[in-house]
Amino acid sequence: MKSIKVKRTGKRRKRILFLYLPVLLILTLCFFGAGRFLLFNQSPQQADVIIVLSGGGTNRIEKGIELFKNDFAPYILLSNAKEPAGTHGDMLQTTLALGIPQEDILTENEAQSTYQNAKFTLSIMENKGFSSAIIVSSDFHMRRVKFLFDHVYKNSGVELTYVGSISGYDANHWWRGKYNREVTITEYTKMIGNTFGYNGSEAKKVLEKFKSWLP
């Protein structure tokens, strides 16, 4: 009788192990792949305009200017152009200081979130009759940028290409270092908030509340 019980116990343990191992594997892959999932980068294509999103210091602007100087588009559109962007001043001042002619720069000054970046730039795209754009933001930001821009630009007929600028974010070891962890948590929290319709100031309030719960 004891040997039968031992055999049954052994089989039960094997079944539990068989069921939980795939779950553990999936969770492990999700953990280690969380940083890499945030990255989304495409090869730049010829477009009507390069849209540079605010934030990221001068890195995003410099990437936009690199694309402009390589003739990928004849215009640069700065979204939330009054955002401070380094020693030269705001985004517009920085872009001018780095050698881009005023007549090749378009601006909007109202966006306070990634969703609004998409919404307000679409209006300019439609007013100018543009049908294609390269979207530039920080590498870790690009997955959420794509999610929101694809949603806002849906049915607009505008072709979008997404190009990330290097930020110093370590996607392969996102759990190492305060900066990497904060970026990862912030992006996933905002992504979840955006999915449920929280954008702009609402999303930021939810994020701050979430951060207050963290140790």
| Distance between CA atoms of residues 153 and 159, nearest Å | 9
Q: Does this model's pTM top 0.75?
A: yes
Residue of 27 and 43 predicted with greater confidence: 43
Q: pLDDT category, 193, cuts 50, 70, 90?
A: confident
For residue 124, give the amino acid letter.
I
In degrees and rounded to multiples of 5, residue 51 shows phi and psi of -95, 120
DSSP-H helix ranges across 100-200: 114-128, 142-152, 178-195
Q: What is the pLDDT of residues 101-111, one digit of tens each?
A: 999 999 999 99
